[in-house]
Structure 1
Amino acid sequence: MSFNPLEHRGIPLEDQVRSWRELDVTPVDPDHTDSYTKCRIITMNGIETEAIFFSHHFSRFCPDMDVRRQLAEVRYIEQQQQKTVNWLLPGQASVLETTLSYEQVAVDLTAWVARMEPDPYLTQAYEFGVLEDFDHLYRYANLYEMIEHRKAEKVVDQVTEVMPGRPTKLHHRHPYDNVRDPYDRTKAAPISKLHALTVMAAEQQTMNFYMNVGPEYMEPIARQLYQEIGLVEEEHVTHYESLLDPGETWWERLVNHEYNECYMYHSMMQTESDRRVKAIWELHLNMELEHLRIACELMRRHDGRDPESILAPELPTPVTFEPNKEYVRNLLATQIDLTTLGAGYVREAHERFEKMQERLNAGEKPSSERVIDEHRDMFSDEYRLQTEGPHPIRSLREPVGSAR
């Protein structure tokens, strides 16, 4: 059934402030909750965090005091929403356990977006990132067993495979080569704009998470691995945010953010298996409908355009967390040796890439390789969760980008 958020009135803004008791949500059970429910929580935390950051940046550059007050009022509600969503995560789950869920989001959300994206250039950008996050999941899964002596299959419910992707050591590129060409705001499909916002927000939240939790570990290999992958997340945020057209006005961006929040809460509501969590998605959707209405009014007043001119007439197909095993395996078989050069992709190593590798590694093995070595020393093998068939790659020991 089609749903156009522009045709619905949500909860009036003055009725949206919740008490401490209402914000004190009971977290999900880490041992009995669907792994994709945790993925939906992490995703929506990223969406809300991006909305808050965007609103702050907008306010810093906006000279109109009335608009700044309006942004502040809506932003306070967004902060309450973010606290509600993020506080659904179980406190007893370790940082590493939550990290595995973050990387599961990165794999299955980005793979789904890549499958649904109509623009081939944007699809390639998402497919490129998937193979790197897939490898991060593998590295953290090995660390998880080493430190906590538990296996990642319970965390990811075996719906996402755990095995090598594009090796993490080869993700470190010169910053120039992380900047992609943006979509054209006048030609891009509305769903393409939503996809770009969604994946950027999810990766940004992962970057922020690793920036803060990495030094909480005492084990040197854990601290070093979070530091290494945390810098890859910086590359990924640059990679995805550069896809957005910088020519979009602040008002256009505001409307796109609010429309995307409606889209994402509606999607989570349609697919959520936990009834209690689903009720939160529904409540927040009804709040976001009002936020969207306010943003549309601001755009009409200050940008002189109707929001309908840039938005889809109805919400697209709901974002769905589902297994992407065959899709990822096909990418492993066909794209593992890609790296970037400028805004494009190549299969051969190039001078900037090689110099960056030399500078970072300084003749030593990076932590992403040592964590596998240490796992083999401890358990006589590396940890993998491979649900069916042989690994699609003949050899993962060849350097990415090497000439064939």
Structure 2
Amino acid sequence: MTFNPLQERGIPLDRQLRNWSELNVTPIDPDHVDPYTRCRIIAMNGIEVEAILFSHQFTRRCPDPAVKQQLAQVRYIEAQQQKAVNWLLPGLASVLETTIAYEQVAVDLTAWVARMEPDPYLKQAYQFGVLEDFDHLYRYANLYEMIEHRKAEKIVDNLTEVTPGRPTYLHHRHPIDNLRQPYDKTATEPISKLHALTIMAAEQQTMNFYMNVGPTYMEPIARQLYQEIGLIEEEHVTHYESLVDPGETWWEQLLDHEYNECYLYHSFMETESDPKVRAIWELHLNMELEHLRLAAELFKRYDGRDPQEVVAPALPAPVTFEPNKAYLRELLETQIDFTTIGTGYVQEAHERFEQLQAQIHGGEAPPSERVIDENRAKSGREYRLETEGPHPVPSLRADR
């Protein structure tokens, strides 16, 4: 059955405010939860954070008091939604455990989007980025074993492999080579716009998370690793946000944001295994349907167009968290040695890339390499989680 969120009616805005007892959600049990339930929580937190930040930016540029008031009312509800979603994460989990879960989200969500993306250029952007998130997961898993004496398989539960991707030290590129060619809003398919918003939001929350938690560690190698990967997450946000057509009006962007929230809450409601968490997805979907209706009214009034001209007439197939092992292995075998130049991709190191590499590494081994060496020295071997036969060995044409 098709579901067109523009034709549905949700909870009226004046009935969406929740009191403290209603916001006091029961967190998931980290020892028994489905890892993909945790992934859905992290993904939706990123989506809600993006909604709030976008609304703030819109408000700062909006001269109309009535529109600013509506944005403020919806934004307050979005802030409550973000608190309810993010507070589903358990206080028992360490920052590093949550970090590994963040990277599992990045790997399996980006891989799924890459598989589903119809535009070849956009697909390549997701394929390129996911091999870097894959390597970040491997670096953090080794740090986790070294300083907390635990294994990442407890968190990812064999759903996601933990092995080297494109080596993290090779992710540092000249800033102008992190910019991509944006899609054309008049020609791209609606699903492509949703994909771009989703992955941009996911990477943005990871960037923000690492910026804040990195210096809270006492171990020098942990502080240094978060600093290095945090810089790369900024590159990733630049990479993905530049895919969005800058010619989209504020009203169109607002419509897309609200539609995407409906899409993801509906997707996760359809695929969630935890009944209590599913109830939250359903509640928030019914809230977002009203937010979308309000955004559609603003779009019609100020852009003078029918919302059906820019969004899908019905929700696409649900976003699904699922293993992507075979797909990632294929990418490792064919794209491990990619880097970027301008808005494109090459398989050879070029002068601008090599200059940046020399400047940032300064002839020293970066934290992402040292964490593997230190864990190997401490544990007798590096940590990997491989399933279903031998894993391809990365072969690089760019040398450190």
TM-score w.r.t. length of structure 1 = 0.98
Say if 2:307 is the partner of 1:310: no
Q: Which amino acid aligns with 1:262?
A: C
Determine if contact 1:169/1:366 at 8 Å carries over to the other structure.
yes
8 Å CA contact 1:166, 1:400 repeated in 2: no
CA contact (8 A) 1:339 1:401 kept: no
**Number of residue pairs matched?**
400
For residues 177 and 284 of structure 2, the distance between their equivalents in structure 1, rounded to whole angstroms, comes to 38
Distance 2:301 2:2 in 1: 28
* Corresponding residue of 2:379: 379
- Distance in 2, Cα, partners of 1:312 & 1:269: 19
Equivalent position of 1:343 in the other structure = 343
Does the 8 A contact of 1:204 with 1:237 survive in 2? Answer: yes
Determine the structure 1 residue equivalent to 2:120: 120
Decide whether the 8 Å contact of 1:104 with 1:156 is kept in 2.
yes
Q: Answer yes or no: is 1:109 the counterpart of 2:109.
A: yes
| Secondary structure of the structure 2 residue equivalent to 1:162 | coil
Counterpart position of 1:53: 53
Q: What's the CA shift for 1:199? A: 0.3
Aligned pairs for 1:92-171 (under 5 A) are 92-171=92-171
> For 2:345, what is the secondary structure of its paired residue?
strand
Q: Per-residue deviation at 1:186? A: 0.0
The one-letter amino acid of 1:306's match is D
* 1:38-66 alpha-carbon deviations (Å, 9 max, x no partner): 00000000000000000000000000010
State the 1:388 CA deviation: 1.6
- Counterpart of 2:58 in 1: which secondary structure? helix
Match of 2:237 in 1: 237
Q: CA deviation at 1:252?
A: 0.3
Determine if the alignment matches structure 1 residue 228 to structure 2 residue 261: no
Residue 207 of structure 1 is matched in structure 2 by: 207
Counterpart Cα distance in 2 of 1:191 and 1:351: 36
- Residue 155 of structure 1 aligns with an amino acid whose one-letter code is I
CA distance in 1, matches of 2:378, 2:159: 27
Contact persistence 1:48–1:78 (CA under 8 A)? yes
* Alignment deviations for residues 60-107 of structure 1 (CA, whole Å, 9 cap, x no partner): 000001000000000000000000000000001000000000000000
Cα shift at 1:390: 1.3
What code does the residue aligned with 2:168 have? T
Task: Report the equivalent of 1:274.
Answer: 274
SS class of match (1:223): helix
Report the counterpart of residue 330 of structure 1 in structure 2: 330
The equivalent of 1:367 in structure 2 is: 367
Whether the 8 Å CA contact 2:348–2:397 is kept in 1: the answer is no
Q: Which runs of 4+ in 1 moved over 2 A?
A: 398-402
Aligned counterparts of 2:238 and 2:2: Cα–Cα separation in 1: 34
State how far apart, in whole Å, the 1-side matches of 2:14 and 2:343 are: 46
Unmatched runs of 5 consecutive residues or more in structure 1: none
AA aligned to 1:191 is I
Query: Which residue does the alignment assign to 2:18?
Result: 18
Could you say which residue in structure 2 is the equivalent of 1:357? 357
What does residue 33 of structure 1 align with? 33
- Partner-residue secondary structure (3-state), 1:236: helix
Matched position secondary structure for 2:240? helix
2:321 counterpart SS class: coil
Q: What one-letter code is carried by the residue in structure 2 that aligns with 1:328?
A: L
Structure 2 CA distance for aligned equivalents of residues 29 and 360 of structure 1: 41
Structure 2: runs of 5 or more not aligned: none
How far did 1:400 drift? 3.7
Q: CA separation in 2, counterparts of 1:112 and 1:2?
A: 21
Q: Distance in 2 between matches of 1:391 and 1:263?
A: 35
1:399 CA drift (Å): 4.7
CA distance in 2, matches of 1:64, 1:36: 42
Q: For the residues of structure 2 that align with 1:301 and 1:329, how far apart are their CA atoms?
A: 49
Return the TM-score normalized by structure 2. Answer: 0.99
SS of structure 1 residue aligned to 2:101:
helix
Paired residues for 1:282-301 under 5 Å:
282-301=282-301
Over residues 178-213 of structure 1, what are the superposed CA-to-partner deviations in whole Å (9 max), with x where a residue is unaligned? 000000000000000000000000000000000000
